Amino acid sequence: MTDPTTLTAARLVAGYARGEFTPVEVVRAVLERTEEIQPLVNAFVRIDAEEATRQAAESAERWRRGEPAGLLDGVPVSVKDILLLRGGPTLRGSRTVRTDGPWDEDAPAVARLREHGAVFTGKTTTPEFGWKGVTDSPRHGATGNPYDPSLTAGGSSGGSAAAVALGAGPLSLGTDGGGSVRIPASFCGIFALKPTYGRVPLYPASAYGTLAHVGPMTRDARDAALLMDVITGPDARDWSQLGPVPGSFRDGLDEGVAGLRVAYSPDLGGRVTVDPEVAAAVRRAVEALEKLGARVEEADPGLPDAVESFHTLWFSGAARVTQHLDDERRALLDPGLREVCDQGASYSALDYLAAVDVRMAMGRLAGVFHTRYDLLVTPTLPITAFELGGEVPPGSPYARWTGWTPFTHPFNMTQQPAASVPCGVDGRGLPVGVQLVGARHADALVLRAAHALYGAGVADVPPPRPLADGASGGPGPEPGPEPGPDAAPGPDPGPGLRPCGR
């Protein structure tokens, strides 16, 4: 049998339908791969082998009867440990979160996947409360890059990106409040989409408000379209969700980009210094779009440098999510998170509303820009992966992760759909990502353009090299004193729920 850990979700579903293999065989192989990669890159906080095997057996029986439950019946899926997955704790990378339950509720996207028969293999790593663009936390340590575990996988959905890149399931659910699915997708050589805000329902609501999106992390754009067909289903718990999607995100996926008006902004109007190897790879992707018939011109959307306004919104959210902690429990937080929480707590309501004003002005500029252009293309990031353990690259002039992610967080401010597509590697063999941005609600168009790049071979980056035994993202920083009674780890999460890391 073809190694099932190398197959896309679409290919797995087709194989189940033809009887080439069963969900039990596939899930067993994926769990084995998960166990192999976990010591190397630390992508998971929990592996649910017993429950996944049970779900796979039920799926196999449905396929045997010719009655699959839905579009992803039997497909292995992992879930970032920010989103609720019933049956085990959602720890959010924090030593301040208790593990005792009841943990009996699914997040909306998880619930839709369960309805469609997906098999949940485990929860993936996140920095504490998803606060930064790399993945390390006091509770679970650091997540290494699939191409070199001494480098970061990016974040905050770094565990999901590493898992998909290394064959621990073709699909993962991530969250993105400032680039958190696109950053690790770029660093790890996979596909990710930040959908239009509200397109994928979210519950509980994020402390970061309407900056935070739920998005698919996959091997290619076709799998992302398939996953979007599932996770965009309505959920009454999210008051800000958008209305139903007409048709399928897979409709028109093969129509190509001929005639599309594409704006190429290599450096946001000269504001961003981009590594020359990254710039060259992104330019080749743009040239491929032109060869496919897109009408490309170099143009900049004219968005202001609004990082301070983003900080006001983001750091205020961080302060809010930790507001309930007493001094003893606050001491358990990531030191960088404590700093931004203190900064966030210092803002006034007028500061916050001024940042909202900036955001609305950015949204207007982006809306007008997209009356002239169907897509905007930029690098996803100006750099490739850097050393594990830091919030910023060594020698960086920036104090915070937002300094090296200037292409991602602006489009959380504007709520637009934005995808990262692999488009090559640098001289060290590390992946580069190109970002495709559409007007609000143009998620299907972004997926279509991304799929065209896959069809043109642009996204065919070399897979991660076999990782040497013993290479590891490492345990991360020492966690300090054990938490007090209110933050105690609590009882074992239960049968079949194996904690990973700290």
Dump pLDDT digits (tens) for 51-78: 999 999 999 999 999 999 999 999 999 9
Query: Which is nearest to 443 in space by CA: 237, 175, 250?
Result: 250
Cβ neighbours of residue 217 closer than 8 Å, sequence gap 6 or more: 157, 160, 161, 164, 171, 172, 173, 174, 181, 184, 185, 190, 191, 192
pLDDT band at 101 (very low <50, low <70, confident <90, very high): confident
Higher-pLDDT residue of 246 and 224 is 224
Picking from 172-186, 322-336, 428-442, 454-468, which range would have the lowest pLDDT averaged per residue? 454-468
Q: What integer is the mean pLDDT of 7-19?
A: 98
pLDDT on residue 498: 54
Poorest-pLDDT segment among 136-145, 164-173, 472-481: 472-481
Contact by Cβ (8 Å): 80, 123? yes
What's 101's DSSP letter?
S
pLDDT of residue 309: 98
**Residue 482 has what pLDDT?**
35
Q: How far apart are the first and last CA of the chain?
A: 36
Both tokens assigned to 376:
């905007």
Q: Answer yes or no: is pLDDT of 431 > 60.
A: yes
Q: What residues are annotated to the active site?
A: 80, 156, 180
Grade residue 467 by pLDDT with cuts at 50, 70 and 90: low
Residue 311's CB: how many other CB atoms inside 10 A?
19
246 Cα distance to chain centroid? 25
Q: What is the pLDDT of residues 197-214, one digit of tens each?
A: 999 999 999 999 999 999
256 pLDDT above the threshold of 90: yes
Integer Cα distance of 215 and 180 in angstroms:
9
Percent pLDDT > 90 in the chain is 91
What average pLDDT does the chain have? 93
pLDDT at 2: 85
pLDDT of 483 strictly over 50: no
Please report the pLDDT score of residue 500 as a whole number. 65
Q: What is the pLDDT of residue 484?
A: 36
- Give yes or no for residue 493 having a pLDDT over 50: no
Question: Can you tell me the distance from the alpha carbon of 61 to that of 24, in angstroms, rounded to the nearest whole number?
Answer: 10
Q: In this prediction, what percent of the chain has a pLDDT beyond 70?
A: 92
Say if residue 165's pLDDT is above 60. yes
Tell me the per-residue pLDDT of 25-35, one tens digit each, with 9 for 90 and over. Answer: 999 999 999 99
Tell whether the model's pLDDT for residue 492 goes beyond 60: no
In the chain, the domains with their CATH numbers are 4-307+346-455 (3.90.1300.10)
Q: What is the pTM of this model?
A: 0.94
